[in-house]
Structure 1
Amino acid sequence: MVCRFLERAAIVEAEAEAEEEGSGSSGSGKKKWAACTLTDVEEVKQVLRMLPTWATTIPFWTVYAQMTTFSVSQAQAMDRRLGSSFEIPAGSLTFFFVGSILLTVPVYDRLVVPLARRVTANPQGLSPLQRISVGLLLSVLAMVAAALTERARRTASLAGTTPSVFLLVPQFFLVGAGEAFTYVGQLDFFLRECPRGMKTMSTGLFLSTLSLGFFFSTAIVSTVHAVTTSGAGGRRPWLTDDLDQGSLHKFYWLLAAISAVNLLAFVAVARGYVYKEKRLAEAGIHLVAHDDDVLVHA
């Protein structure tokens, strides 16, 4: 039912045929815009079907952006001593982020996939969209953990104590695990669903969600800073250079809320999405010699 109007592009209208016959034009001079092949129309429709999924994966990378920005600022305000003489650099906490990814991948392959196969009867364990949904859920939990950690850090700091930087490990771990699911799920989805003639677009679609996620993060930070510093009545800005004077935890709660709403939107989109292979089979169209460029009716 999606984009049915595009099917008109594959129909040679009677008026166009009459004009060509009257002008005595040869087949080589036929106007290319008069009709497209079935493959051309299906490729455009397929890309349009993918756009809602593409759009709802952007907020994950907005959460991801916080791991290299505000989470590092949190680390700078915490106790980073390891032993009596060594202090952990704030920026090196991404080690836990990368470690989470390296740990999640084998756990998924060895534990999650066999269990998921029994439940879903899918040889891959989880479908690409299911993988992405798990990653989006983990991003929500990461922002909840970040908000709770920052609230505890600020309370302790105002009371004269400095909590350990290792309190930040859960949010790094959750975002890292979320990336392992989302990253692989996105690549699998775009490579699997993009038409063969547009395979190079699959990587571009994935990378665009990452870049737009960082752009969206900048836009939210700018908006929140402008809104929370423009009012009167002694309202404290959420985002300040000195975290103790701000309310970073409220910003994290905002991101958690945005991510939760986005997760619901993604689930709604995913439930209504039909994978290309199944959709073409139901329409009586089969891929010839595993080549997406050739479609034939059964």
Structure 2
Amino acid sequence: MAVAFMLFLGGIAFKYKYKPPATESKLNNLLRILYAAMSKRHLANSTPGNVIPILRWLDKASVEEPSPSREEQVRIKRLWSPEDVQEVKINLLSMVPLWMTFLAYGLLQATGNTFFYEQVVYMDSRLGRISKVPIVIFVIVKSSTRFIVSRLCDSLFSSYWSQKVPRQVLLIRIGAGMAISVVCCIVAWRIEKYRLHKYVNLDVLISVFWLIPQFFLLGFIEGLVFDGMEEVFDGHVPESFRIYGPSFTQFALNIGNFVSLAVILIFHGLFNGDLNTSGLATYYALLAYICFVNFLFYCSVATYYVKESYYEEDESPIEQELEQIQNLVDNHEATDHQVAE
């Protein structure tokens, strides 16, 4: 390791310094518009009335201040055009309500990555002559299920929609994952209740393979929701914003992980030194209620996104073909008119 570190230090002097071309980052523009709007919150809103009627406080980023000059305000990114503000509203901030519904999904994912595997320790992991079933089997079950579900959805969608998958189809895909999350919590709750019943009353450890259904459902949910989140993001924003899709998606899930810590701290009385004396089954039941309420909230938010008309849909191939035919007809009529003259 020491030799490798010395070689690394020696190679720094010969490092080729490449400076990428200076381009405006859409994310930087978003942060600057947010800062400009917050710093001018005391000013009166003088934007035209045909702006998007949501997040009106952002419109103050396009309000001109008394000083300095207009050119200076534009140069230092204190003054933005109404079109730039509307683009931020449409492309990113209007997705905040939808991202909020992913917090419960992140909470379930964090639970699956912790307590699901913790249950393995308190169950019978023998299989015939194998004294201990490796825990990686459950990782394979979840990962393979997610991969298969994701690829099946992609193949089905591409067979029906070669150009662009409609937004409502992607929202239904995510909604199906949200609904299955309730089922996953109920299954985990029932299995944990059964495990405790066998251990407390009969002093019997049930097989770890009882956990396969909840790992299967967790992988099924991830295949529907996680990849669907990125596709919804890509379909909602222009191409220049799509590079931030994985980052924003992972950010929403990481917030869900922090929410799981907060929930555990709030209900810390359910957890003791080991699972046999803890209320993990009660926690799973609570998580089922949270996922159910989140599913109802998602349905209302998804209905808004289906009906919203603040973004322009790409023209369909039929519309493009009709436009080309109309242009040919107009050109032909113009040529005939010139010949007649």
Counterparts of residues 4-19 of structure 1 (less than 5 Å): 4=56, 6-7=58-59, 9-10=61-62
- Which residue type is aligned with residue 267 of structure 2? V
User: 1:222 is paired with a residue of what secondary structure?
Assistant: helix
Quick one: which of 29, 36, 41 aligns to 2:80? 36
Kept in 2, the 8 Å contact 1:67–1:94? The answer is: no
Task: Report the counterpart of residue 55 of structure 2 in structure 1.
Answer: 3
Task: Report the counterpart of residue 18 of structure 2 in structure 1.
Answer: none
Q: Does structure 1 residue 243 correspond to structure 2 residue 243?
A: no
Q: Deviations over 1:45-96 (max 9, x none)?
A: 1222110111111210211112221111111111111222341123542221
Q: Does structure 1 residue 104 correspond to structure 2 residue 149?
A: yes
Count of aligned pairs between the two proteins: 255
Q: Does structure 1 residue 140 correspond to structure 2 residue 182?
A: yes
Distance 1:65 1:280, change over 3 A: closer
Task: Report the counterpart of residue 120 of structure 2 in structure 1.
Answer: 75
User: 2:129 is paired with a residue of what secondary structure?
Assistant: coil
Q: Deviations over 1:171-214 (max 9, x none)?
A: 11111111011111111122222345544443321111121111
Distance 1:34 1:84 in 2: 71
- Which residue type is aligned with residue 79 of structure 1? D
Q: Does structure 1 residue 149 correspond to structure 2 residue 169?
A: no
Q: Which runs of 5+ in 1 are unaligned?
A: 229-237, 283-298
Instruction: Say which is worse superposed, 86-95 or 147-156, in terms of deviation.
Output: 86-95
Distance 2:115 2:244 in 1: 32
Kept in 2, the 8 Å contact 1:52–1:269? The answer is: yes
Q: Deviations over 1:190-239 (max 9, x none)?
A: 222234554444332111112111111111112211xx2xxxxxxxxx22
Measured after TM superposition, the shift of residue 114 of structure 1 is: 8.8
User: 2:205 is paired with a residue of what secondary structure?
Assistant: coil
Task: Report the counterpart of residue 109 of structure 2 in structure 1.
Answer: 64
Q: Deviations over 1:82-140 (max 9, x none)?
A: 22234112354222111211232344345x6499x69xxx8569633222211211211
Quick one: which of 163, 169, 185 aligns to 2:228? 185
Distance 1:109 1:39, change over 3 A: same
Task: Report the counterpart of residue 280 of structure 1 in structure 2.
Answer: 311
Instruction: Give the strand-richer structure, 1 or 2.
Output: 1
User: 2:80 is paired with a residue of what secondary structure?
Assistant: coil
Measured after TM superposition, the shift of residue 268 of structure 1 is: 0.9
Measured after TM superposition, the shift of residue 258 of structure 1 is: 0.8
| Larger radius of gyration between Structure 1 and Structure 2 | 2
Distance 2:96 2:122 in 1: 41
Q: Could you state the TM-score of these two structures normalised by the residue count of structure 1?
A: 0.75
Q: Does structure 1 residue 252 correspond to structure 2 residue 284?
A: yes
Kept in 1, the 8 Å contact 2:167–2:235? The answer is: no
Measured after TM superposition, the shift of residue 169 of structure 1 is: 0.9
Q: Does structure 1 residue 211 correspond to structure 2 residue 211?
A: no
Aligned-pair Cα RMSD in Å: 3.0
Q: Does structure 1 residue 171 correspond to structure 2 residue 203?
A: no
Distance 1:45 1:31 in 2: 21
Distance 1:114 1:196 in 2: 20
